[in-house]
Chains A and B, each alone.
Chain A
């Protein structure tokens, strides 16, 4: 077995070789600008872009004209939130989102707040789900947008988008969903799920980095957004800039593969994920799953190993690429705000590991990773004063710690 093993598919995915093959001709042979209307170089590029647009639309139940190409989900989220806030400024100035959103949504909201938009950050329940009653109560006659992610990038919890959409529709409020982690992994359908705007990204579904899309609904209701990038008026005026043709071809092909293989692939992911979970739980006491298992991406396992600090665990499994919610592994030196939002306590966040399984993981790799994690957790618990105290029956929450 080749080492190191990659098991961090929520961070990014390798490009599928079939996707790479599809992209290749669009660098040197079919290199035209898809906006060149007067020669075959342009026409060929345009044809490829339109094919990809349809492949993406098909995967999410949209029509091709509703797809706007961007540089990725960060840009899509920015465009959706800022574009709606600007376009619907006369209608209202209130946006509702959730505490567990990706920074590309939260920080966009923070900026909008500086420009007179009011933002409600809904807390989530301990299972990671938004409380729908709380959502209803948060809507005012000034609310223009509800932005709730489809699936969370740390805990994989899938929100009830269809219900959220229903609530919003009843009040005439638009819904945006950051579906970056969900598209291609679980069935996403913008009609059934009542979504008006939706962000997705190439590199999370075995496509290339630096390309993504924003779905913008054209019918019932017809959604309009104010462009945030000025220029040649590409993408029906919503996003100027010469299209990244090879990237778009890759994104389209990646979507087509996901659509064809999702049923099989998601079953395989769930099997591997559950095997990993069962092995860890069989060999180790006091491990806790973060977020509900009942509504979750099939490839996600976020688990806390009590009394063991996440970064030290990563250090012990250094031939396995996973990530941790521990403060020591974050740039801000704060433990994961997503896990904190579940109310689990900072100590549980410090002890968490996120496993993100993917297309190229094998059962043999899962067995290796499970054995390695079990071994290192046991070793670190031997080293842990907290484990020793817990075994002596001391209630760690009652200890007077010297916080520093």
Chain B
């Protein structure tokens, strides 16, 4: 299979690889996929609670080159976006940017799911934080 130059670039120079502290209340973690299916993505966002802006994003991915590229691209796009803007990233945006062939569309879907899971995790965490503050 021939890979697009953008997929190759992300594969060879993955952006924002790494992990952040899961227990940090400002960090949201999304983990999607399954080893038996051949891809697992972990995506993390660190949000400024004052502004709602994503200040940092990190990923680790087990999967094919397109899966790695999709999640690497996602972290690039997430940085600087607000939480609500982040939820607007669509898998089709990733497909277009990376010129993914039809058999690799599921990689982009997984990346979108990972973004949503990370943001939801952050939102759940900050909601419980607000509750905890309110009950004090």
- Partner-B contacts on A (CB < 8 A): 307-309, 311-312, 315-316, 326-328, 333, 335, 345-347, 350, 382-388, 396, 401-404
Please report which residues of chain B, range 61-116, place their CB below 8 angstroms from some CB of chain A when the two chains form the complex. 61-65, 67-68, 103, 106, 109-110, 113
Give Cα distance in the complex from A350 to B36, angstroms: 8
- Which of B17, B32, B34 has its CB near the most chain A CB atoms (within 10 A)? B34
Partner of B64, one of A309, A346, A402, A403: A309
Given A312-B11, A404-B110, do A385 and B40 touch, yes or no (CB 8 Å)? yes
Chain B residues, Cβ within 8 Å of A383: 14, 17, 60-62, 68
Identity of the chain B residue whose Cβ is nearest the Cβ of A402 in the assembled complex? B32
Give Cα distance in the complex from A326 to B37, angstroms: 10
Q: Does B27 contact A (CB under 8 A)?
A: no
Pair B62/A307 contact, Cβ less than 8 Å = yes
Give Cα distance in the complex from A384 to B59, angstroms: 9
Pair A386/B62 contact, Cβ less than 8 Å = yes
Pair A384/B62 contact, Cβ less than 8 Å = yes
Given A309-B39, A335-B38, A383-B17, do A326 and B64 touch, yes or no (CB 8 Å)? yes
Pair A384/B38 contact, Cβ less than 8 Å = no
Pair B38/A385 contact, Cβ less than 8 Å = no
Pair A402/B34 contact, Cβ less than 8 Å = yes
Closest 8 CB pairs of A and B: A401-B34, A347-B35, A385-B42, A346-B36, A385-B60, A311-B64, A350-B38, A328-B64
Identity of the chain B residue whose Cβ is nearest the Cβ of A306 in the assembled complex? B35
Partner of B40, one of A312, A335, A345, A401: A401
Please report which residues of chain B, range 1-29, place their CB below 8 angstroms from some CB of chain A when the two chains form the complex. 3, 11, 14, 17, 19
Least distance between A348 CB and chain B CB atoms (Å): 9
Pair B36/A345 contact, Cβ less than 8 Å = yes
Chain A residues, Cβ within 8 Å of B3: 315
Q: Does B45 contact A (CB under 8 A)?
A: no
Q: Does B52 contact A (CB under 8 A)?
A: no
Chain B residues, Cβ within 8 Å of A396: 35
Least distance between A130 CB and chain B CB atoms (Å): 26
5 A-B Cβ contacts within 8 A? A327-B37, A350-B35, A383-B62, A385-B42, A403-B37
- Which of A326, A396, A404 has its CB near the most chain B CB atoms (within 10 A)? A404
- Which of A308, A386, A402 has its CB near the most chain B CB atoms (within 10 A)? A402
Partner of B33, one of A307, A311, A388, A401: A401
Q: Does B41 contact A (CB under 8 A)?
A: yes
Q: Does B31 contact A (CB under 8 A)?
A: yes
Least distance between B85 CB and chain A CB atoms (Å): 24
Pair A403/B63 contact, Cβ less than 8 Å = no
Least distance between A376 CB and chain B CB atoms (Å): 11
Chain B residues, Cβ within 8 Å of A328: 38, 64
Chain A residues, Cβ within 8 Å of B42: 385
Pair B33/A384 contact, Cβ less than 8 Å = no
Least distance between B28 CB and chain A CB atoms (Å): 15
Pair A347/B68 contact, Cβ less than 8 Å = no
Identity of the chain A residue whose Cβ is nearest the Cβ of B3 in the assembled complex? A315
Give Cα distance in the complex from A171 to B40, angstroms: 50
Pair A404/B106 contact, Cβ less than 8 Å = yes
Give Cα distance in the complex from A346 to B35, angstroms: 8
Pair A382/B35 contact, Cβ less than 8 Å = no
Chain B residues, Cβ within 8 Å of A311: 64-65
Least distance between A352 CB and chain B CB atoms (Å): 11
Pair B32/A308 contact, Cβ less than 8 Å = no
Identity of the chain B residue whose Cβ is nearest the Cβ of A335 in the assembled complex? B38
Least distance between A188 CB and chain B CB atoms (Å): 36
- Which of B14, B41, B109 has its CB near the most chain A CB atoms (within 10 A)? B14
Pair A385/B41 contact, Cβ less than 8 Å = yes
Pair A384/B60 contact, Cβ less than 8 Å = yes
Chain A residues, Cβ within 8 Å of B19: 388
Chain A residues, Cβ within 8 Å of B67: 309, 312
Chain A residues, Cβ within 8 Å of B113: 402, 404
Give Cα distance in the complex from A239 to B127, angstroms: 76
Partner of A404, one of B34, B64, B103: B34
Chain B residues, Cβ within 8 Å of A384: 60-62
Give Cα distance in the complex from A156 to B64, angstroms: 26
- Which of B31, B33, B36, B39 has its CB near the most chain A CB atoms (within 10 A)? B36
Least distance between A193 CB and chain B CB atoms (Å): 38
